[in-house]
Amino acid sequence: MVRPRPPAISPGLRSDLVRLIASASTPGRESALVRPCPTAETPIVAGVPLTNEAKDKYIAPDMSVFTAATIEDLHGVSPEPDGWVASFWLNSIFRGRFEGPLNTTLLNFLRRTHAAFQEYAVARTHTLAYLANPDAPRQYFAAMTHWEIFLSQAYQAHCLLDMGQKNMFKQRDGSVLERLSLLYGRAKHVEKAITTAGQLPENGTLPVWLTNDGLRSTDSHLTFGEIVNILRGLAHCAEAMEDPLTMREKLLAIAAESVEHTEAG
């Protein structure tokens, strides 16, 4: 039997791998291999409950105190499958449409919004599965993967609405959108966080992690309630945008509601 040839890798990736191997192989280096077991052949037994210290140091910050969460089920808010996206392009074909950049902006906003709802639903499922069995770290990692994708889709949806104007928030205003931006940026640029002081917890392994209240990084946080409000706000806009013929009036109504809510608050 002829063994298949390994896939070719780029010169850049090859250089990165050589540097990574050197970092892990140099005696005395902080990142050099440490064997906590008496011999390299000591077996790892699957299913052994982890200590709180092991969870917090080797899997996720504060994992041992992540014990409960209230995460709202939003299946009734987002149409399935691809409801907003499908309605938009069908309405654009048969009723009326925008030309040029606005059409592209709206379509991609609806895609991002739908994806944010999908990722939230999957992240919620894995999070609750982990809480039901705290000795299943795979569920925790699966949850965090989908929470990070949710952050990217929700933030990019807002960027599309902003249309490059950078008016979503003011720096250090502490708003929900600024904190969403910080969490997204930390997850996106984890390679920078690993080598920059203060961007990961001491001995921390993840750039963003779960708490009983929501998602957290060293410089930002969102509660599960705030995440739900982000999604409901995106859904409100998506419902208005799925028909180009009625979009203007519906968005004006949303803007007026927002002003009234702000003044009442």
How crowded is residue 151: how many other Cβ atoms within 10 Å of its Cβ? 27
pLDDT-wise least confident of 96-100, 117-121, 129-133: 96-100
Residue that the structure tokens 């890798």 belong to = 9
Long-range contact list for 194-202, CB < 8 A, 24+ apart? Answer: 201/61
Q: Given this model, what pLDDT does residue 165 score? A: 81
pLDDT greater than 50 at residue 45: no
The arithmetic mean of pLDDT across residues 213-236, rounded, is 97
Ranking 22-31, 91-100, 219-228 by mean pLDDT, the lowest is 22-31
Domain ranges of the chain: 84-264
Encode pLDDT of 66-100 as tens digits: 999 999 999 988 776 678 999 999 999 999 989 89
Nearest to 179 by CA among 190, 195, 168: 168
Tally: H helices and E strands in the chain? 9, 3
pLDDT tens for each residue of 161-187: 998 888 888 888 999 999 999 999 999
